[in-house]
Amino acid sequence: MSATEQIEIRRLGVTEAHAQLDGLAAVLADCVAGGASVSYLAPFSHEQARDAFEAVAAEVEQGRRLLLGAFAYGRLVGTVQVNLALAPNQPHRAEIAKLLVHRSARRRGIAQLLMEHAESEAQAAGKTLLVLDTVTGDAGERLYTRLGWTRVGVIPGYALYPDGRPCDTTVFWKALA
């Protein structure tokens, strides 16, 4: 990140989530176009990406999920989610999902900032244990290791890349102090 670059990370409530639907969809569609294994297969349209974030906004409204946005000079360039709504016997646990940074904004520390804020927001919501999974060998895996997450192990062939090739997944956890 250049010294002059302004990155703002903030939690998006339901109103702002709706206002930012096109920006969120653009980031998701760009990540899928770039080959990221984040639930979707190619071809994946902007409209499909909007639909995905409409569903996220509904969960934000219900208090089931936190949604964060990263803004560079006011433009949404990254996002991450915290799924709060887990089983009744896991009230202390949350899951991090869909850490996405637009390809044009990568390698400036934006994902790291998003994760630091997501962890703080989860803690503020009373969570003491976080879990996530990510494609084995990708930038995400290095980032989570850097941020002190504990690697559980690898599940071979867990999901598919957008082009249909199988990919392995690494599961991580982190206890919040």
Ligand X SMILES: CC(C)(COP(=O)(O)OP(=O)(O)OC[C@H]1O[C@@H](n2cnc3c(N)ncnc32)[C@H](O)[C@@H]1OP(=O)(O)O)[C@@H](O)C(=O)NCCC(=O)NCCS
> CB-wise, 32 or 57, nearer to ligand X?
32
Measured from the CB atom, the residue of 18 and 108 that comes closer to ligand X is 108
Cβ(82)–Cβ(65) below 8 Å: yes
**Can you say whether residue 139 is alpha, beta or left, with left for phi > 0 and alpha for psi between -120 and 50 degrees?**
alpha
Please state the closest distance from residue 123 (CB atom) to ligand X, in A: 20
CA count, 13 A, side-chain hemisphere, 109 = 10
Measured from the CB of residue 144, what is the shortest distance to ligand X in angstroms? 9
Rounded to the nearest whole angstrom, what is the least distance from the CB of residue 82 to ligand X in the complex?
A: 13
Nearer to ligand X, 15 or 66 (CB): 66
Contact set with ligand X (CB under 6 A): 1, 31, 36, 38, 98-101, 106-112, 134-135, 138-140, 142-143
Shortest distance, CB of residue 15 to ligand X, whole angstroms? 25
Rg of the Cα atoms in the chain: 15
Q: Please identify, using beta-carbon distances, which residue of 91 and 151 lies nearer to ligand X.
A: 151
CA distances from 33 to 2, 19, 28, 76 (A): 26, 23, 9, 18
